[in-house]
Structure 1
């Protein structure tokens, strides 16, 4: 599969954009001139006023998070491409409950879900009801890929003399089970990355399960847990302030942020795959759009084309890249291939 490359990133143009959440950012990012030129096939599919119910993007998490921010960006872009108002609806509470509710939505292409790729992931969650919910969803496209960064509190790293992944591996092998690693909830990208790290390096590091990335990061900062694979955007401010030490990033060589220059680190942070046990390893936290089971293929294809138009826009791409995410926009067939590849990879990690 082929994701759009990051080569078109214009940091000077990106820095001129005000990157804030909420209504101000929504209004600013609405001015996307290139999206005004909608492809004819999509223009022909625009709905007459009142023809159908509004298109809604459901986010199964509280407002203020990364998923909500991405959903708002897509809503603004789709509004320009499809010529209709797109709403974002946050449904809080148990994620699986919200997923089941979404799965029962009418398959008319008017309700989309923004979630992690295959949440929960097959091969991680073995309960049939959860798998049935996930398998019922119709993949539309990947919106963004967030790389992970392996972090440790600066004070703890200094205490143990750990300045690199090589130092970390030496310490872990000399003191098996003594180091702890936060792993978030079962099936999260952080949990999967930690399992892959231990499997590839053949080290014994004690897993500490927590409620999610934010409490995990707080536990690492507070010295209660040693290590964490966090999303780059989650750890960014603490790396900048020198509270967290970034040991490695999980992106590939094509990603423009391996050196984390904008994070103010004194020396470039290496790619995890540059360390011998992790050759070829790339880990991303994928955010994607899904439709309910039964959505007609032509409707799903039209939605995918509209999303790809949004994610191909230079302003949208720069906005995502400046916020440490690679734009998506792959086809539905490529999305299906990605899910199969991810499932195989994570089965091997456990």
Structure 2
């Protein structure tokens, strides 16, 4: 397995290089630049903007721009934001990164705590009232867009009842200790549930389907014939094999933890990477856009690698030479 992991890590190098080419090509294909957008001051001489383009290297040939950008990234310099008054891209990302991680982990925890138990129970009690209810919830969760559910949640639980805040990450920066932690969790409830809605429905349906499939296997019937209890059959034999597709989804979720949900963060005015990415796209701030796309791609690749490693833990039959 160690040789396989090393090979996968080595494969990352050409994959990352291809990712940088794709990200840079998409940025170049986009029309205009930060100095042709709506943020320009009409009172400023256009020559000032042209000098700024020359200073940033936007007038250089495309291969030269790509080489300069790639060498800067390899040296750890993500460049400076054009829209945010020349602030470091690394500083902007590191400032928003914790908020997105908190939101992603909170949403993933809600997803797993709800979807896996309900999926298991639905498989053990098929066509029961809970099974029909979970199936209906699954279809609704997949059909309702996150932004629509988020607006409804704000209207009901924030505006009408006033139970949860509708925006931000903390009430006051003066809060510390356990009080600050509780307040942050309070702000995470609505966006976390909204972000985890579709994931909960997906995981629940996968879990139900896989547990039903495994329960019909020959080795499960053999285990029951030997006198094993239902709980032993479920947790020692069924669950580990049923978790394989969940592990696959978890690999992609690792990348989603970093990328967050652009629309969900925008609905709740949540200062994470999603809102930063959307603002950068609207303002054509290409240094920030390219750095964030590259970051998202790296975490998705890492998530896929972790999923392959977890396969060996969940299912001992899987081995890599």
State the TM bucket, normalised to the shorter chain.
Answer: under 0.3
Select the structure that is richer in helix: 2
Q: Normalised by the size of structure 2, how large is the TM-score?
A: 0.27
Of structures 1 and 2, the larger Rg is shown by: 2
Tell me the TM-score normalized by structure 1: 0.25
